[in-house]
Amino acid sequence: MFHKEGHRIVLFSSIGLVAILLLLDHFIANFWIQKILMISFLVLYLLVLYFFRNPKRSTEINDLQIIAPADGKVVVVEEVFEKEYFKDKRRQVSIFMSPLNVHVTRYPLSGIIKFSKYHPGKFLVAWHPKSSEENERTTIVVENNKAGEVLYRQVAGAVARRIVNYAKVGDKAIQGNDAGFIKFGSRIDLFLPLDMKINVKLNEKTVGGKTIIATV
């Protein structure tokens, strides 16, 4: 199953692949060169399909838990000063997504969307310490009665050039549901209250909609 953000790209890629294979078959006489080129384009096509995959995940909704908003690897677990919204100290947990990870963004908790803002910016590598503040990004805050307000930030990377954010102020977020998409490598930052218990460690792999990041 493909994410809706990839439907057009998958369609055009499919048409393009058929056209390229027909052209190679018609114009390239050398058998081995023809086959090598065909296999190369087929591999690129399969990578596009793989990138836009959207596996079904069943999330057990729990207001006492913050779940991973994306697949990837934990690259930051530290106390920081959050400048944009809270303007106080928070616990930051960041998840880096390589181009091979599922790039669907999922709501880390259920609640009401209190804040949602897009910021144009740079395209530093996603693991750069300043990427959370200087890169193209969106900032979303979800509030519920148990966890309070939790901020998550979609951050574009050196390759990612398009962030898709479905969160709108006043809408209801449902934990684990589709909240957006980041194309071609990126990162997600979570900013949590200091009194939450963090359940993940550096370099730990996360599964969006499944891995429990923190508990109230």
**Measuring CA to CA, which residue among 86, 81, 105, 109 is closest to residue 95?**
105
User: Active-site residue 110, yes or no?
Assistant: no
The neighbouring-strand residues paired with 189 are 94, 153
The one-letter amino acid at 5: E
- Quick one: the chain helix, strand, coil %, rounded to 5? 25, 40, 40
Among the options 13, 94, 110, 186, which is catalytic? 186
What does the chain come to in residues?
216
Closest by Cα among 13, 38, 17, 154 to 96: 154
Q: What is the largest CA-CA distance in the chain?
A: 68
Q: Which residues are catalytic?
A: 186
